[in-house]
Amino acid sequence: MTDLKISSKNNKINLSEVAKAAGVSKMTASRVLREEGGYSEKTRVKVMAEVERLGYLPNRIATVFAGDKNTTFVGVSIPDLGNEVFTHVLEGIDRKLVSFNHQTVLGMTQHALAEEETWIETVLSWKPAGLILTGRAHTPKAVQLLQSANVPLVEIWDLNSSPIDMCVGLNHFDSGYDMGRFLLSKGYTRFGYVGTSHDAANAATSRLNGYAKAIEDGGGKLSKQLCLNDIPGFYPGFYGTEQLLSSDPDVEVIFFQNDNMAVGAVHFCQAQHISIPGDIGIAGWGELPIASVLPYRLTTVQVNHLRIGQLAAENLLLKISGDQATPVSDVGFRLVTGETV
Amino acid sequence: MTDLKISSKNNKINLSEVAKAAGVSKMTASRVLREEGGYSEKTRVKVMAEVERLGYLPNRIATVFAGDKNTTFVGVSIPDLGNEVFTHVLEGIDRKLVSFNHQTVLGMTQHALAEEETWIETVLSWKPAGLILTGRAHTPKAVQLLQSANVPLVEIWDLNSSPIDMCVGLNHFDSGYDMGRFLLSKGYTRFGYVGTSHDAANAATSRLNGYAKAIEDGGGKLSKQLCLNDIPGFYPGFYGTEQLLSSDPDVEVIFFQNDNMAVGAVHFCQAQHISIPGDIGIAGWGELPIASVLPYRLTTVQVNHLRIGQLAAENLLLKISGDQATPVSDVGFRLVTGETV
DNA sequence: TTGAAAGCGGTACCAA
DNA sequence: TTGGTACCGCTTTCAA
């Protein structure tokens, strides 16, 4: 009566065991477990009782295999967990996925396209329900893998008018351009930029390019731009500012890759008794949590990171279930004029 | 010659197709792909050429199924991505796992044991190679599932002398106790605490308990403790301080759940012209990145979050590959005396 | 060095 | 409402 192990070597209970114990066929037990209908209430009760008693855990690998289906995994690649903006995006994604019974398989690509390619190949071999990739740049082989895998895919972060499948993000170039134009309107003429290193296809580079273009269009001068080999965090903002100002003391305003770097800059200036915005203007990007406790409103660009994640997951789930999904979603941005320029 | 689709309906190429194209049996192709040996170089070249030409992607679901093995997935549950300490831990875990060809399946439990239980059941049904869970508290059913699944498991964050399987973390109670004792030694007598809401089994609660015990042992008074219903970030630190001080203005020093909250407090004090540590002492926990740019050294507890993740993953991988692993690893902590008390 | 056959744990499809 | 059978794509086992 209480013999838990019945036959298989490693005492794992499978459907056959449950069916046998309940005195029905494998198929009937299968139907009950999938709540497919087509069985009597008496049968259902019998089967479920055995499931409970034996502690049966379905083997989803077998289910996927048998049905030639996909798993409920969604591969999500982000460049870096140390960069706060991406953790917010990831949170938005995972929350949404979980509420629709899907699971996030994490991929940290470390900003390297080659890493991404390897990861894509691995994840695809596990038959994921879908993929969410950060960034629009991929290796040719990765693109080919994605296309032939024919799995729902959302490229997030930077907007892309012709995505491989779908795309959710914002126009980073424009956000940089708007910031540049705004700073010009405040009367600045010598501009600086501090970010972290990245390849040319990067969204932060698009922001820098937009910023540079606005400055050029407005007759200003982008006199110094710095790309540190670091994550875009508080301390890199601190020492990046030091570096930039020591190599070009005439810069009047600095645009940072994100708010955390800008806050690092604010602290550097405080330590050096450089007044903001009197001596120098500071602008961030992304409206990160730290901005909420500063004594003055940081000039920045507000972006709804969580929303990007949610929308990406939503569209992906629509496509997974065979519904119509939006190919390109622009979540937009909003310039926060602030008090630091 | 160039007919890519050979037989199966959705033009997915499988091992049989490759084998047929290469003029060998399925088994030989299988051996080549697994680099198992027992085939001629000529055969190897033939098979690999077809793999390349047909763009064959192995179906790992089938592999796992056939071999009655586990996947290379490792389920990693953390309470919350909005809490910076856990993103660092997660980063440490994923980096290590990836370098050993394993993938992280994320589980955000939102600090709810019931969520964790559901997630554990789901993840186990996918036959993971192992599991890493944050926290030592689980529902009885979760514990039973974990035990009968017999999958390598590491419980991280809080130390647990008798873990279900393995455990990596630090003694949170002690870290709180040490902080309390240190603050007593600085002459404080009326103590406060600000954290976020959580169940009794939480590590932050252990820190609070240690803190309270030290204060009691030293004859001080924990006059006010606040548990906000929020994430432990900058802004909750800001308004939590406001709340605490308005309800008990006599508090002399406040211990926060983490550095980000403490920094929020610092900003509140600055805004209110409350001098630190003259009017009030501030202590954080965790040594988070923001601390590196403050104008003075924050009194805090240094914890190597990344290391916890790495160690957890290392031990898990050891056990997965059948090697000896350390059951309990204490990564320790270090009190940073700082200048804010 | 190679291949044929069985089977992993489910589901689809048919028949009863 | 139920059960039998074939089969998903690969690996294990054994024979050649």
Is the pLDDT at B10 greater than 50, yes or no?
no
Structure confidence by residue, pLDDT tens digits, B230-251: 999 999 999 999 999 999 999 9
B262 by Cβ neighbours in 10 Å (0-12 / 13-18 / 19+) ranks as: buried
Determine whether the interchain pair B267/A144 forms a contact, defined as Cβ–Cβ distance below 8 Å. no
Distance B27 CA to C4 C1' (A): 10
A295 closest CB neighbour out of B59, B123, B270: B270
B22/B81 same-domain check: no
Cα distances from B28 to residues B23, B38, B59, B163, in angstroms, run 10, 9, 17, 45
Residue A58 Cβ < 7 Å to strand C? yes
Q: Is residue B99 part of a domain?
A: yes
To the nearest whole angstrom, how far is the Cα of A221 from the nearest Cα of chain B?
29
Is the pLDDT at A229 greater than 60, yes or no?
yes
Determine whether the interchain pair A235/B108 forms a contact, defined as Cβ–Cβ distance below 8 Å. no
Distance A226 CA to C3 C1' (A): 63
User: In chain B, what percentage of residues exceed pLDDT 70?
Assistant: 96
A155/A184 same-domain check: no
Q: Is residue B66 part of a domain?
A: no
Q: What is d(CA B195, CA B179) in angstroms, rounded to the nearest whole number?
A: 15
What token pair was written down for B221? 């008074």
Q: Among all residues of chain A, which has the CA nearest to that of B58?
A: A125
Average pLDDT, integer, range B162-166? 95
| Strand runs labelled E in A171-211 | 190-196
According to DSSP, the β-strands at A253-256 and A281-283 are parallel
Q: Is residue B68 part of a domain?
A: no
Residue nearest C2, CA–C1′ metric: B28
Residue A5 Cβ < 7 Å to strand C? no
Average pLDDT, integer, range B196-222? 91
To the nearest whole angstrom, how far is the Cα of B119 from the nearest Cα of chain A?
9
Q: Is residue B213 part of a domain?
A: yes
To the nearest whole angstrom, how far is the Cα of B104 from the nearest Cα of chain A?
5
Q: What is d(CA B37, CA A216) in angstroms, rounded to the nearest whole number?
A: 63
A316/A232 same-domain check: no
Per-residue pLDDT band at A111 (split at 50, 70, 90): confident
Distance B99 CA to C11 C1' (A): 36
Structure confidence by residue, pLDDT tens digits, B316-332: 999 999 999 999 999 99
Q: Is residue B157 part of a domain?
A: yes
Is the pLDDT at A1 greater than 60, yes or no?
no
Q: How many residues does chain B have?
A: 341
B248 by Cβ neighbours in 10 Å (0-12 / 13-18 / 19+) ranks as: middle
A162/A104 same-domain check: yes
Angle at A143 between CA A137 and CA A148, to 5 degrees: 160
Structure confidence by residue, pLDDT tens digits, B29-59: 999 999 988 899 999 999 999 999 999 999 9
Nucleotides of C under 7 A from a protein CB: 1-5, 7-13
A106 closest CB neighbour out of B88, B94, B289: B94
Determine whether the interchain pair B235/A144 forms a contact, defined as Cβ–Cβ distance below 8 Å. no
A21/A90 same-domain check: no
**Beta-carbon contacts of residue A45 (< 8 Å; ≥ 6 apart):** none
Q: What CATH number is given to the structural domain containing B212?
A: 3.40.50.2300
A268/A182 same-domain check: yes
Return the closest-CA partner of residue A233 out of A273, A282, A284, A180: A284
Written as one string, the DSSP assignment of B128-163 is -SEEEEESS---HHHHHHHHHHT--EEEEEE--SS-
Where is average pLDDT lowest: A296-300, B11-15, B265-269, B328-332? B11-15
Is the pLDDT at A307 greater than 80, yes or no?
yes
Other Cβ atoms less than 10 A from the Cβ of B103: the count is 23
User: In chain A, what percentage of residues exceed pLDDT 70?
Assistant: 96
The sheet carrying B221-228 orders its strands as: B221-228, B190-196, B253-256, B281-283
Residue B115 vs residue B111, higher pLDDT: B115
pTM of the predicted structure, to 2 decimals: 0.93
According to DSSP, the β-strands at B300-302 and B334-336 are antiparallel
B85/B135 same-domain check: yes
Q: Show residues of chain A in contact with B233, CB under 8 Å.
A: 289
Structure confidence by residue, pLDDT tens digits, A33-85: 999 888 999 999 999 999 999 999 999 999 999 988 899 999 999 998 988 99
A181/A285 same-domain check: yes
A323/A262 same-domain check: no
Q: What CATH number is given to the structural domain containing B24?
A: 1.10.260.40
To the nearest whole angstrom, how far is the Cα of B22 from the nearest Cα of chain A?
21
Average pLDDT, integer, range B121-141? 95
Q: Among all residues of chain A, which has the CA nearest to that of B144?
A: A55
Q: What is d(CA B71, CA B93) in angstroms, rounded to the nearest whole number?
A: 17
Is the pLDDT at A199 greater than 90, yes or no?
no
Q: What is the domain count for chain A?
A: 3
Q: Tell whether the torsion through CA atoms of A143, A145, A147 and A149 is positive or negative.
A: negative
Q: Is residue B100 part of a domain?
A: yes
> Which nucleotide minimizes the distance between its C1' and the CA of B40?
C1
Q: Max Cα separation, chain B?
A: 87
Return the closest-CA partner of residue B168 out of B101, B93, B117, B112: B93
Q: Is residue B340 part of a domain?
A: no
A82/A112 same-domain check: yes
Q: Among all residues of chain A, which has the CA nearest to that of B91?
A: A81
Is the pLDDT at B293 greater than 50, yes or no?
yes
Residue A14 Cβ < 7 Å to strand C? yes
**Contact assessment for residue A287 and residue A325, using Cβ atoms and an 8 Å cutoff:** no
| pLDDT score, position B36 | 87
A166/A176 same-domain check: no
**Contact assessment for residue A212 and residue A241, using Cβ atoms and an 8 Å cutoff:** no
Find the domain containing A146 and state its range: 73-170+306-331
A275/A185 same-domain check: yes
Average pLDDT, integer, range A202-222? 95
Find the helix packing angle between B41-54 and B15-22, rounded to 10°. 120
Q: Is residue A226 part of a domain?
A: yes
| pLDDT score, position A200 | 61
Average pLDDT, integer, range A196-210? 86
Phi-psi region of A25 (alpha: psi -120 to 50; beta: other; left: phi over 0): beta
